[in-house]
Chains A and B, each alone.
Chain A
Amino acid sequence: MSDPHIVIAAYNEERNIAEVIENLKSEGYTKIIVVDDGSSDNTYSIAKSQNISVLRHIINRGQGAALQTGMTYALKNGAEHIVHFDADGQHDPKEIKDLLLPLQLKRAQVALGSRFLKKQEVPFKRKLLLKGGIIAVWVLNGIRLSDTHNGFRAFTKEAAKKVLITEDKMEHASEILEKIQKYKIPYEEVPVTIKYTEETLKNGRKGQGQFDSVKILLKMIMKKVGV
């Protein structure tokens, strides 16, 4: 099997990025692409010193934009499989092979991580927010999933070429699902664990706060009604 390209969008992650990369390396992954989304801290130089591909957005464009930059780069470098992986250490590198399995067995072209398929404690406030997202996606896009806003995903190159992210900010999570539906790309949900630390929970700055969720929902509705 060919080595998957792991795309990590990183914005001011100097505290976590080195460990995240090292953990991926120790699992045997070599094709790691970090997209530094215009960080103001040392994310770029720390990632660069790890001897991997590091792309740098000269100004901050948002997580969706950074992921797409990584995907475009991976496709240009002959990627067969592309994995989205979080920069803050929320995901477990050991689970990448679980995500890739349905793709390798040709059961699906996209694998979506789901934290709710696994017996895991999700903080209540987070759960409320996520369930809201699940209902919104179900109503607006007609896809019923157990977890719609999970950043742990895997794509075959065919799927990656179709799912071109144009939403620069956090709406990309819904956009990906919308494109899966639009292009009828076969997908599968895979149980994954999300590690909640104090830091990842208070990280509202990156569009995961309650207020941003409202903004994202409004934008999704506006898009649906054709504004």
Chain B
Amino acid sequence: MEIIQILIVVFSLFALSRVFINIKDRNLEKLESIFWTLFWLATIFVAIFPTSVAIIAELLGVGRGVDLIIYGVIILLAYMIFRLYAKLENTEKRITKIVRTIAIKNENNLHK
């Protein structure tokens, strides 16, 4: 086993422990919990058995296993950034709503 494989496994275990902490604290939805648990388990599996990706890559018509992983990760990251952007916009709108409600409420109270 190469050093890089060990590093990936160790990091994935750390990430997995973070996922479990967040599940315990109920910060993650059910679907998200399942997704992240499977994601890091798969990462560990691939790190230990790199040839497994090569087989899938071959099936999909991608030359090398590593290429498949890079494509997948880029797509996943792009999607996550989009989700974050949408979520942030939504949060901004909600903050405005709160600020507006407070502003109107305070002014109304002054005139009571």
User: Which residues of A approach B to under 8 Å, CB–CB?
Assistant: 35, 38, 53-59, 61, 65, 68-69, 72-73, 76, 166, 168
Contact = CB atoms under 8 A, between A and B. Distances in A.
Contact of B93 (A55, A72, A166): A166
A52 B107 CA distance: 11
B99 A73 contact: no
Contacts of B107: 53-56, 73
B99 A76 contact: no
Interface in B93-112: 93, 95-96, 99-100, 102-104, 106-107
A56 B108 CA distance: 12
A168 B93 contact: yes
Interface string B67-109: 0000000000000000000000000110110011011101100
Interface string B31-65: 00000000000000000000000000000000000
A58 B100 contact: no
B100 A65 contact: yes
Contact of B104 (A59, A61, A76, A166): A76
Interface size range on B against A: 10 to 19
A69 B100 contact: yes
Question: Which 7 residue pairs are nearest across A and B when measured between Cβ atoms?
Answer: A55-B103, A69-B100, A65-B96, A55-B107, A57-B99, A61-B96, A168-B96
Contacts of B99: 38, 57-59, 61, 65, 69
Contacts of A56: 103, 106-107
22 contacts: A35-B103, A38-B99, A54-B107, A55-B106, A55-B107, A56-B106, A56-B107, A57-B100, A57-B103, A58-B102, A61-B95, A61-B100, A65-B96, A65-B100, A69-B103, A69-B104, A72-B100, A72-B104, A73-B103, A166-B93, A168-B92, A168-B96
A55 B96 contact: no
A8 to B, nearest CB: 14
A45 to B, nearest CB: 13
A56 B92 CA distance: 18
A40 B103 CA distance: 16
B106 A68 contact: no
Contacts of A54: 107
Contacts of B104: 55, 69, 72-73, 76
Nearest to A68: B100
A38 B102 CA distance: 12
Contacts of B96: 61, 65, 168
A223 to B, nearest CB: 11
A81 B70 CA distance: 58
B100 to A, nearest CB: 5
Residue among B102, B103, B106, B107 having the largest count of chain A Cβ atoms under 10 Å: B103
Contacts of A57: 99-100, 103
A168 B100 CA distance: 11
Contacts of A168: 92-93, 96
Nearest to A61: B96
A107 B34 CA distance: 59
Nearest to B85: A227
A221 to B, nearest CB: 15
